[in-house]
Structure formats: structure tokens, C-alpha cells
Amino acid sequence: MNCDKTNPFPRRKFFAAFFAGALWGGIVVFVFLVLYLRYALIREYPCRAGSPDSARIIADSARAAGWQAKKPACVLPKCSDSSPVVQISLCNLKYAQSLVDDPDSKKTSAIIPCTLAVYTKADGKTYLSRLDTRLLGIILGGSAGRIFASKIAPEQEEIIRNAVE
């Protein structure tokens, strides 16, 4: 650092510039992450068939893969345009057991079972939406992250493969 005798505060300017740069860097990263997560955390896929048929295809694929598939107990309110929204709860007991047995991963029981939604939009097409369990696993880290990212996500992708375009 230059020790110029005419400027009695060179270090103060250096630290101010450093903190200003760090602040702007943090703001840019935060905005990027918020925008990315807003887009990527809940994934939406167009379906090949209509709402009830897509829901049946997904439930059948899940059962064939060893998962439980059922409609959740909570009933969604009816859409104002009377279009159907069908929820499907998917649960793999082996993975769920691993998550609740680990003390650090027990908090993930709040999102077990994994819920998918099949619905029709104003364009007349049917869509499936789901939480991106791979991204969620990366965010969570630890054993929950490994289970979500390496086991649950690939199996869910295989389950929905026959229903989405």
C-alpha cells in the first residue's frame, strides 16, 4: 500500500472500497440466487395427456417403482375457472425412514411425502409441477442432501417421464 504523506487516510479509503465492493458483490449474488431459485425450485412440465389421465399415469409409474402414491388428505379449493387441480403424494418408505432416523435430517419430515400437482392452465394444456428435489438436496446438504439429490430426484424423474412431454 502506498504511504503517501499527503493523504493521511490511505488505509481508510482502501477498507471503504473493499467493503463497498463486498457489499455490491453480496447484493448481486443475492439477487441472482433469488431469481434463480424463484425459477428453478418448483419445476413445471407440459403433460402428454389430460389432467386425470396424467395423474393416473404418474401414480401407476410410482407404484411400479416401489413408491406409494395417493391423493393427499387436504383438498384444494376449486379454481375460479373450474379447471381441475389434482395432487399426488409420493412416498418411498425406505428413503423416508432414512430421513427421519437421522437426527439432523428429521426436519425434512415437513416435506415428506413429496407432492406433485397436475393441472390445466388457461391455454388448455395440462401441466405437472413438482419441487426440484435435486436442487433442494443441494441446498440442504448433509445426508438429506445426498438422499434427495442422488436417490429421490432420479427416481421421481423416471416416475414422471411417461406423463410429461
CATH number at residue 145: 3.30.310.70
Question: Both 34 and 48 in a single domain?
Answer: no
Query: Percentage of residues in the chain with pLDDT exceeding 70?
Result: 93
Q: Which domain holds residue 93?
A: 42-160
Query: Residue 9: is it exposed, middle or buried by C-beta count within 10 angstroms (0-12/13-18/19+)?
Result: exposed
Determine the residue type at 30: F
93 part of a folded domain: yes
Q: What pLDDT is recorded for position 38?
A: 83
Residue 165 included in any domain? no
The residue among 81 and 133 whose pLDDT is bigger is 133
